[in-house]
Amino acid sequence: MKHLSEYRDGAKALKLAAEIARICKGNWAIMEVCGGQTHSIIRNGIDQIVPQNIEMIHGPGCPVCVTPISVIDKALEIAARRNVLFCSFGDMLRVPGTTSDLYRIKGGGGDVRIVYSPLDAVKLARKHPTREVVFLAIGFETTAPANAMAVKIAQQQDIHNFSVLVSHVLVPPAIEAIMNSPGNRVQAFLAAGHVCSVMGFHQYHRLASQYSIPIVVTGFEPLDLLDGIRRAVVQLEAGQSHVENAFPRVVTEAGNEVAQATIDEVFETTDRAWRGIGVIPQSGWRLKPKYAEFDAERRFAVEDIAPEESNACRAGEVLRGALKPHQCEAFGKQCTPRTPLGATMVSSEGACAAYYNYGRFVHP
C-alpha cells in the first residue's frame, strides 16, 4: 500500500473488522493514547464496527487538553503585557484559563498571533528587535524537536528578545500513571505512531513487560487503527504482552536520533502537572539551565501564579478514560465547541470535541 486512499478502503476495513470479530472471544478494553487516533476512530466509526466486547478507551494524548491551567494563566499574564508579541498554535487561543483565554486577551488589545512553527516566532523576534516575542511551547514528543531547535537557533543567532513558555509532556510516564491508577481498566495500548516516529519504541518494552500489557505502535488511518486493534486482540487472546510495530512505514525501534539529540541538547526531564490528572513524576521536559535565558517564566516572573480550576468540567475523568465525553452532564448543553468549559472540547484532538463534532450524543 503506497497511497493514502488505500488506508481508507472501506471493504478492507470491514474485512479487518470481521477478522477481529472472529478472533475476539473475551471482553477487552483497549486505550488509544493519542487524541489524533481518537478523532480518527470516532470520525470513521471504528469503535462501532469492531465487536461490542471491545471497548475503545480514549487516552490523555491531546497536548492542548493536558496543558495545565497554571501554564494557560501564565500565558494570559504574559500575553497581556504591553511590549509582548505572544505566539501560539491556533488551538491554544480558546483554551480557558482561570478567568480568560488568549482570544479575549487579543480582543482586549494584546498582540497574540497564531504561528504554524516555533521558527516563525524566532523570525518575528528577529523582525521586531524592540519587542519581547514569546512562544507557547506545548505538546508531546512530536513538537519538542522543533521547539528545541527554535531555542538553539535563537541562541546561535544572538536573538535575546525571544523566549518560550514550556509545557512539554511525555507519553511513557502517562502510560505508567494510567496503569498505576486505582480502578484502571486498560488492558492494551495503541501507542501513538507520530510520537514513536521521533522517540522510537525501545522505551515501551519495559512497560509492556512490567505491566503485562500489549502495546501496539499504530498509525492514524482507519486500516492502521483496525490493524492495531487486531494485533492487540491477538495478544490479549493469547495472554501475551509485548510491543509490536504496526506502523513500520514511519516508525523504527530507535526513532529519529537526530531529533532526539536536539531535544537532549535543550531539554531535561522534570515532574509535570497534567490538566485534569495532576502531577506525574518525570513526565515532562523543561529547558536546561544553559538555556535559562530563553525561559519565559523566569523572564516575566510568573512562576507563582495560582490558578483555579472549574469543577463543572469532568475532563480529568475523560482524559483518564474513566468517563466517555457524552456521559458528562454538561456535554452538548452548557459545553459546546462555541462555549467550551474544558480544553477537551476546544482542541482539535480533544475527545469531547470528537464526540460533539461527529454526533456521538447518545448515552450508552
Task: List contacts with ligand SF4 (CB under 6 A).
Answer: 313-315, 318, 325, 328, 330-331, 335, 341-342, 344-345, 352
Q: % helix / strand / coil in the chain, to the nearest 5?
A: 45, 20, 35
* Residue (287 or 315) nearer to ligand SF4, CB: 315
Can you read off the three cell numbers belonging to residue 158? 544572538
Residue 77 CB-half CA count within 13 A: 19
Least distance CB 344 / ligand SF4 (angstroms): 4
Least distance CB 160 / ligand SF4 (angstroms): 39
Least distance CB 343 / ligand SF4 (angstroms): 7
Least distance CB 265 / ligand SF4 (angstroms): 36
Least distance CB 334 / ligand SF4 (angstroms): 7
Least distance CB 360 / ligand SF4 (angstroms): 11
Cβ atoms of 225 and 233 closer than 8 Å: no
Least distance CB 316 / ligand SF4 (angstroms): 8
* Residue (169 or 328) nearer to ligand SF4, CB: 328
* Residue (186 or 352) nearer to ligand SF4, CB: 352
* Residue (263 or 318) nearer to ligand SF4, CB: 318
* Residue (168 or 314) nearer to ligand SF4, CB: 314
* Rounded CA separation 317/119 (Å): 35
Cα angle 100, 101, 106 (rounded to 5 degrees) comes to 110
Cα angle 36, 192, 28 (rounded to 5 degrees) comes to 95
Can you read off the three cell numbers belonging to residue 94? 480558546
* Distances 120 to 58, 113, 124, 125, 146 between C-alpha atoms, Å: 32, 10, 6, 9, 11
* Rounded CA separation 41/36 (Å): 9
Cβ atoms of 66 and 49 closer than 8 Å: no
SS3 236: helix
Alpha carbon 10 to chain centroid, angstroms: 28
* Residue (231 or 314) nearer to ligand SF4, CB: 314
* Distances 334 to 98, 320, 331 between C-alpha atoms, Å: 17, 22, 7
Amino acid at 88: S
* Residue (71 or 266) nearer to ligand SF4, CB: 71
Cβ atoms of 217 and 247 closer than 8 Å: yes
* Residue (211 or 331) nearer to ligand SF4, CB: 331
* Rounded CA separation 294/41 (Å): 39
In the DSSP assignment, the letter for residue 7 is: G
Least distance CB 90 / ligand SF4 (angstroms): 18
